[in-house]
Amino acid sequence: MSTVIKNGTIVTADLTYKSDVLIEGGKIVQIGENLKGDKELDATGCYVMPGGIDPHTHLEMPFMGTYSSDDFESGTRAGLAGGTTMVVDFALPNQGESLLDALKRWDNKSTRANCDYSFHMAVTWWGEQVWDDMDEVVNKRGINTFKHFLAYKGALMVNDDELFHSFTRCADLGATPMVHAENGDVVAELSARLLADGNNGPEAHAYSRPPQVEGEATNRAIMIADMAGAPLYVVHTSCEDSHEAIRRARMQGKRVWGEPLIQHLTLDESEYFNKDWDHAARRVMSPPFRNKQHQDSLWAGLSSGSLSVVATDHCAFTTEQKRSGVGDFTKIPNGTGGLEDRMPMLWTHGVNTGRITMNEFVAVTSTNVAKIMNCYPQKGAVLVGADADLVVWDPEKEKTIAAEGQQSSIDYNVFEGKHVKGLPRFTLTRGQVAVHDGEIRCEEGHGKFVAREPNATVNRALTQWKDLTQPRPVERSGIPATGV
């Protein structure tokens, strides 16, 4: 059974042209004029784009004494409703737990996914076991990204020596380290002082994590990655201080990527000064929302290319879960949702305002993600042979975002009341129509794990190339061991 998408305009990261797309066996088999298929999807007036890839989600994750409320079923359903056809979720080992045991837990949860998914592995503690497991994670499990928290002291945080060890290991394995960059020591100190002074409301969360803690940690991670000979992916870049460090590194030729979130691009710190405790607490996430100047910096980074992708950090908690932090802001579970709204919000505030082009929209929501994560062109492409993960985007379709009727299982939406113009007419996951004009036809369990190979041949940072007087043996890549 074949499907043809007819009369649309294909928009990729670099081209815009009119063509039909023929799909068979879950893959794109032909792109051209006047194609015929068993089933036709009409894309008149629409753009046919690679489905979104969200590189940063936390589905059903144990965190801060509870579990995030969207699981792989509701989370991927929300993603599909908004044009996202793949998520990359973080497998999070407990202290002392083997990485492989943590992965088993994630394997079990993800069997319910409605669309394809992959995992990043978090390094939440350090030891010989972790060192050993990393090899198997990369070479047997197809996971080439390792996340490190520089915040959450006493829980997930790793120290600089651990960071350096792990980054070195990543470099050797051809994996890419990622960082949640906030200085956890300073955050802990500021939080304690704020609480001692009687500042216990959600706004104190923002005061406890100023842009400087992010700028410092981002710069530190970049320098440590450079010394380890590893590239670096900085998650949820929220401010100019962090963006500046990323921009500088890229100008110096370092392989560093920054990931702003749709929340930081479109919501600002005034949300925390709302008199309604619930309103503010529902928006507590780390890093917190920033002021307009920081938002402008993030938008400039997307249009100039110094920031590479837009994610959600989807980590949804109900109002009831948030209320466990009444009287102590440090106990408000950190996290906000966004999977259903990332694409329409970015289109509305990015493409419709002229801040980014349609092609840049495709790049930052899909193609760049696939390239950095190394699953391109299986994902992130409209090419013959690619998976038919596609969104047929109707630029005239409008709605006002509301919790009522959303796919996410929580009871509110941080974008409530925002008007968006630009929504999916169809979302296809490997050729299967999962969404048609807002009508959800997902199939629980349809999603498959996407394995991602290491990037050995490009995995040497600049200083490694400069320091050719003392070359280190490189076993597994095409890079010669002695000089170039």
Which positions lie near ligand DUC, rule CB under 6 A?
58, 180, 285-286, 313, 315, 334-335
Partner whose binding site includes residue 153, from Zn ion, ligand DUC, none (CB under 5 to 8 Å by kind): none
Whichever of 150 and 461 has its CB closer to ligand DUC, that residue is: 150
Among residues 27, 153, 248, 446, which is the contact residue for Zn ion, using CB under 5 A?
Answer: 446
- Is position 116 an interface residue for Zn ion (rule: CB under 5 A)? no
| Residue 412 beta carbon to ligand DUC: minimum distance, rounded to whole angstroms | 16
Parallel, antiparallel, or unpaired for β 27-32 and 20-24? antiparallel
Cα–Cα distances in angstroms (integers) from residue 52 to residues 113, 219, 340, in the given order: 15, 29, 11
Partner whose binding site includes residue 335, from Zn ion, ligand DUC, none (CB under 5 to 8 Å by kind): ligand DUC
Q: What span, in angstroms and rounded, lies between the C-alpha atoms of 282 and 24?
A: 43
Q: What residues pair up with 432 in beta bridges, in sequence order?
A: 429
- Going by C-alpha positions, the residue among 225, 95, 237, 111 that lies closest to residue 157 is 95
Q: Site mask, Zn ion, residues 302-321, x = CB under 5 A?
A: -----------x--------
Q: What span, in angstroms and rounded, lies between the C-alpha atoms of 83 and 97?
A: 35
Whichever of 335 and 454 has its CB closer to ligand DUC, that residue is: 335
| Residue 130 beta carbon to ligand DUC: minimum distance, rounded to whole angstroms | 20
Whichever of 286 and 374 has its CB closer to ligand DUC, that residue is: 286
Query: Within 364-422, where are the H helices?
Result: 368-373
Partner whose binding site includes residue 446, from Zn ion, ligand DUC, none (CB under 5 to 8 Å by kind): Zn ion
Show the CA angle centred on residue 391, arms to residues 388 and 396, nearest 5°.
160
Parallel, antiparallel, or unpaired for β 62-63 and 39-42? unpaired
- Is position 216 an interface residue for Zn ion (rule: CB under 5 A)? no
Whichever of 331 and 448 has its CB closer to Zn ion, that residue is: 448
Whichever of 150 and 194 has its CB closer to Zn ion, that residue is: 150
Q: Could you check whether the bond before residue 55 is cis, i.e. omega within 30 degrees of 0?
A: no
In our burial notation (b when 16+ CB lie closer than 10 A, e otherwise), range 305-314 reads ebbbbbbbbb
Q: What span, in angstroms and rounded, lies between the C-alpha atoms of 312 and 265?
A: 11
The count of residues interacting with Zn ion (CB under 5 A) is 4
| Residue 214 beta carbon to Zn ion: minimum distance, rounded to whole angstroms | 11
Whichever of 201 and 431 has its CB closer to Zn ion, that residue is: 431
Partner whose binding site includes residue 334, from ligand DUC, Zn ion, none (CB under 5 to 8 Å by kind): ligand DUC
Q: What sign does the CA torsion over 21, 25, 29, 33 have?
A: negative
Q: What span, in angstroms and rounded, lies between the C-alpha atoms of 214 and 239?
A: 8
Q: What span, in angstroms and rounded, lies between the C-alpha atoms of 244 and 247?
A: 5
| Residue 209 beta carbon to ligand DUC: minimum distance, rounded to whole angstroms | 10
- Is position 322 an interface residue for Zn ion (rule: CB under 5 A)? no
Partner whose binding site includes residue 285, from Zn ion, ligand DUC, none (CB under 5 to 8 Å by kind): ligand DUC
Whichever of 180 and 379 has its CB closer to ligand DUC, that residue is: 180
Partner whose binding site includes residue 239, from Zn ion, ligand DUC, none (CB under 5 to 8 Å by kind): none
Cα–Cα distances in angstroms (integers) from residue 309 to residues 69, 213, 273, in the given order: 25, 22, 29
Q: Which residues contact 338 (CB under 8 A, 6 or more apart)?
A: 261, 262, 263, 312, 313, 314, 345, 414, 415
Among residues 77, 112, 169, 180, which is the contact residue for Zn ion, using CB under 5 A?
Answer: 180
Using the contact rule CB under 5 A, the part of the chain among 173-181, 290-298, 336-344, 461-469 near Zn ion is 173-181
| Residue 235 beta carbon to Zn ion: minimum distance, rounded to whole angstroms | 5
Whichever of 219 and 286 has its CB closer to ligand DUC, that residue is: 286
C-beta separation of 40 from 392 below 8 A: no
- Is position 70 an interface residue for Zn ion (rule: CB under 5 A)? no
- Is position 27 an interface residue for Zn ion (rule: CB under 5 A)? no
| Residue 429 beta carbon to Zn ion: minimum distance, rounded to whole angstroms | 8
Structural tokens at position 190: 């500021």
Nearest to ligand DUC by Cβ — which residue?
A: 285
Identify the H or E element spanning 411. Answer: none
Partner whose binding site includes residue 331, from ligand DUC, Zn ion, none (CB under 5 to 8 Å by kind): none
Which residues make up the interface to Zn ion (CB under 5 A)? Answer: 180, 313, 443, 446
